[in-house]
Amino acid sequence: MRKIVHRHLGKMVAGTAIAVAGTAVMVAVTLPGTAGADDSGTRAGQSVPQEAGAAAAAGGRAVAPGVVEAAPAEGQKGEGRDPLTDDELKRVEKIALSKQLFQSGESVDGDRGPQRLGVDLAEPEADEAGRPDAPRRADVTFYDYRDDTLVTRTVDLGTGKVVHSDTQHGVQPPLSRAEKSEAAGLLIADPLGSGLKADYQDATGKALTSPDQLQISGAVYRAAPGAQPAVLDRCGEHRCVRLFPKVKNGPWVDARSLVIDLSARKVARLDR
């Protein structure tokens, strides 16, 4: 891991310098009214007021300052296939998370209640396609770490009721931000995370103590015959993660050989 950081860090710094230089050239070229001007604000030995220069650039007409319009206010309810509004997102999540599910479920960090993964506008039924009055529904997905189940609940936005509920085992949708952060925290605290911490120290001169110091990407890992130690054999049934961490404003760190089992809260290195 440490060799990779050292090999690429110089290239990244050099690339940044080139980008900055390119930006400086762009600014010098595109700033209005400055082409051919010297530091004293003169052109061909004559003083040119800034307003006059701008008017000349516009063919003798004064250029009105640009105006940025505020985004239109978001309604509490969407229509048809409109994306879910913020109010709708909050409402359907509250409806989907019943008292029983909250009390029995467990999140990625061990708190009460299942881990929310996402809320999406549900597809219409086959006989509803194209109908302007088709019911508007939302699918809310949770991962329950208590028994490694994916829970999907469909909420009718019109009636405010759960119209469908499904529980599946062995289904591993993309990771939420909270799960990737928890996986990074487990890796940092584990002895196998020593290389990650050393690379971070080399790149920044600071100790790595929190996932908040990293930009974190990650992917679900499923066990493959002969491709992992026995401790990871249940990945796929368990929620397991391979992380791709990046130093903020710095290089990527190669952690592909490490897998974090969020269900068992263990870290293991893949067999070579």
DSSP string, 11-77: HHHHHHHHHHHHHHHHHHHHSTT-TT--TTSEETTEE--HHHHHHHHTTTSPPPPP-PPPPPPPPSS
Q: Is 109 helix (H, G, I), strand (E, B) or coil?
A: coil
* Alpha carbon distance 61, 52 (integer Å): 9
Class of residue 244 by CB neighbours under 10 A (exposed 0-12, middle 13-18, buried 19+)? middle
The answer to pTM > 0.75 is no
**166 strand-pairing partners:** 152
Rounded to the nearest integer, the mean pLDDT of the chain is 79
* Alpha carbon distance 260, 15 (integer Å): 32
pLDDT digits (tens, 9 = 90+) for 140-190: 999 999 999 999 999 999 999 999 999 999 999 999 999 999 999 999 999
Long-range contacts from 36-39, C-beta under 8 angstroms, 24+ separation: none
pLDDT digits (tens, 9 = 90+) for 126-141: 777 777 778 889 999 9
